[in-house]
Amino acid sequence: MTTGRYPTDYDLAGFLETAPDPRALPAGAGATVADTIDDYYSTLVPGLLRTSPDLAFPYVVPGAQYHSVWTWDTYFTGMALPEEFLDHEVGSLRTLLAHVSGDGRPPSRVDPDGTADHRHAAQPIHAAWALSVLDRSGDTELLRELWPTLVRLRAWWDRTTLARRGLYAWVRDSGTGIDNDPAIYGRSGDTVGLVDVNCFHVRELTAMALLSDRLATGDTGRWRRQADDLGAAINTYMWDEQYGTYFHLDLAPHTWRTFQQVTWEVPLLTQTWANLFPLWTAVADQRRADRLIAEHVLEPRRFRSRYGLRSTPADQRFYNNVVMANPSNWQGPVWALPTALTAYGLARYGYRSEALALAHDLRDTFTRDLETTGAIHEYYDAETGKPLAHPHFVSWNLLITRLIDDLVAGHDPTALY
């Protein structure tokens, strides 16, 4: 049996026939002169704040070269925006919820002309986002306005994606944001139960319970029970005691059986940072978290790089650090989002010093990049720290401006209270 790596076949030349070079500066952009990461991003943040005559609310874009409202990009970007720009974050959420389809399907993005992309479904994060906005703005009346749409969204997810064992499958012909995760890339999403997606749903159901309590809707208990039941299903069916980690599941319909009932689910043994979501979302108990952290997160031969967190463990056969765009490459390179969310998860389970070391390594990677190129990039070679793609990328990279302070203070801006 071969144990070598799979070849990485990405047609960069073909991509460049359709789009700008991901290694090059955006058109019209030059090197930004800044002494620190915070100064650097303070010059770029104003370019994220947009309005459009075809959209009712101000909104946030992930970077100056983007023009649309994206879902998880904007949610995580908003966590690090100065509070003076809260109106743009609130406007982004209102814009996305205003374009939920009649049957409840969330768009992945909304363009400046008001066109919504419903072909790719958004990640289930809207209730958690609404809770974050409520906690910072105190605007209960806005929550009352948004609540019916949040309920309609939950009904759509349950009606179209709730599968066996009380777990959620994903959506057919739609990415999840982790573009080339082998568990979903090239596969039919409605046959796959993803660890990250199910953890997102736990957060959403938890947020619905908290929001329901704030509004006194009378159904807080129902949302809480659903969150608890889903967390239990993740730990029952997705946790693998042999490997000490969580695996995605093949939820394709069972096609035949005789007299034995099928009481198991078949795991997909590929791993990316998506398999670590139970740490950030507090789905794992302490015992499972300890194994996941010791055997996977902090293991240098797996996720832990000197430059941050690998998006895929180094011992996976598909691991690579190739420059890609469409799909973006989550099969190895260090990104800010996996590193930051995993650091918050480490701290949650008592590994604060390890979380701080991880955060400092990412900040050092950004600092070297800024000093060398005058820019901070979207993702980095996990073996060399070399910047790979999209200079002057902003989006969730902004989390680096607060991550270390948060960890020192014992604060997680994404936590649900």
Instruction: Average the pLDDT over 255-259 and give the result.
Output: 91
Map tokens 């023009």 to a residue. Answer: 67
Q: Judge whether 400 and 37 are in contact, CB under 8 Å.
A: yes
Q: For residue 174, is pLDDT > 90?
A: no
Residue 321 within any structural domain of the chain: yes
- Supply the pLDDT for residue 1: 35
Structure confidence by residue, pLDDT tens digits, 179-204: 999 999 999 999 999 999 999 999 99
Q: For residue 2, is pLDDT > 50?
A: no
- Count of domains observed in the chain: 1
First-to-last alpha carbon distance for the chain, in angstroms, is 49
Residue 180 within any structural domain of the chain: no
Structure confidence by residue, pLDDT tens digits, 365-400: 999 999 999 999 999 999 999 999 999 999 999 999
- Could you check whether the bond before residue 53 is cis, i.e. omega within 30 degrees of 0? no
Residue 284 within any structural domain of the chain: no
Count of alpha carbons within 13 Å of 202, Cβ hemisphere only? 24
Which two tokens mark 309? Answer: 């967190």
Residue 65 within any structural domain of the chain: no
Structure confidence by residue, pLDDT tens digits, 65-100: 789 999 999 999 999 999 999 999 999 999 999 999
Task: Provide the domain limits for residue 399.
Answer: 298-417
Looking at every residue in the chain, the average pLDDT score rounds to: 95
CA distance 241 to 247: 11
Q: pLDDT band for position 245 (50/70/90)? A: very high
Q: Alpha carbon of 386 to those of 132, 261, 317, 367: distances in Å?
A: 35, 52, 22, 12
Phi first, then psi: give them for residue 283, nearest 5 degrees.
-75, -35
Residues 6+ positions from 71 with CB-CB distance below 8 Å: 96, 106, 107, 108, 109, 122, 123, 125
CA distance 32 to 87: 27
Q: pLDDT band for position 28 (50/70/90)? A: low
Residue 409 within any structural domain of the chain: yes
Residue 207 within any structural domain of the chain: no
Q: Judge whether 180 and 330 are in contact, CB under 8 Å.
A: yes
- Supply the pLDDT for residue 4: 82
User: % helix / strand / coil in the chain, to the nearest 5?
Assistant: 45, 10, 45
Structure confidence by residue, pLDDT tens digits, 289-316: 999 999 999 999 999 999 999 999 999 9
Residue 43 within any structural domain of the chain: no
Which two tokens mark 180? Answer: 């080339």
Rg, C-alpha atoms of the chain: 21
- Supply the pLDDT for residue 66: 85
- Which H/E stretch holds residue 267? strand 266-268
Instruction: Give the count of beta carbons closer than 10 Å to the beta carbon of residue 364.
Output: 14
- Supply the pLDDT for residue 405: 98
Residue 329 within any structural domain of the chain: yes
Q: Alpha carbon of 244 to those of 168, 297, 409: distances in Å?
A: 22, 11, 30
Percent of the chain with pLDDT over 90: 91
Closest CA to 69 of 115, 18, 130, 135: 115
Q: What is the largest CA-CA distance in the chain?
A: 71
Structure confidence by residue, pLDDT tens digits, 112-131: 999 999 988 899 999 999 99
Q: For residue 417, is pLDDT > 90?
A: no
Instruction: Average the pLDDT over 321-325 and give the result.
Output: 95
